[in-house]
Structure 1
Amino acid sequence: MTVGPDAHFIEALLQDLPSQVTVKQANDILTCLTREHVLTEHEKCLVQTLLSKETLEVLAMQDAQAQLRARLLSQLLNRLRFESERE
């Protein structure tokens, strides 16, 4: 099985992902994924909605929001890496 450049790029993002992620950090990562053609602009907008402050404010504490945002982003990156390894 060959591992493409997307898998290496995504792996690097995963390695650098902190345990808490701000909205700005999440948006920066999504912008990188879009720039590298891993995500489309439409997919980026959908994920931004899911990771937004408004979506996660059901959790009262900002630390909990940042932790959940990091976990969601980590799961997304793992899935994208898995898919890029299958190609």
Structure 2
Amino acid sequence: MSDEYARGRRDGLRLALSILEAEEAKWEALLGESPSWRTNATRAIRHKAYQVARKRVQTALNRFLPKSESALPVEVASMIEQAGL
């Protein structure tokens, strides 16, 4: 796998991670806001699904990081810190 291709894959995963974080934050703000228990349950399930998806993308991103780097790149570390992991 060429270095440019691998960098593109990592950039794509970083983009997916940021999109999932935004969606998760949107649903987190809506948790428990509705008077309907069914709506609240649906929102909680959707929020949990975004949390799981974010964690899976983060795991995939960690697998694609170059082995020579012992520390995470600054941008990835800041994304992880923002996500609260």
The TM-score bracket by the shorter chain reads 0.3 to 0.5
Please say which structure displays the higher CA radius of gyration: 2
Structure-2-length-normalised TM-score:
0.37
Structure-1-length-normalised TM-score:
0.36
Greater relative contact order, per chain length (Cα 8 Å cut-off, separation 6+)? 1
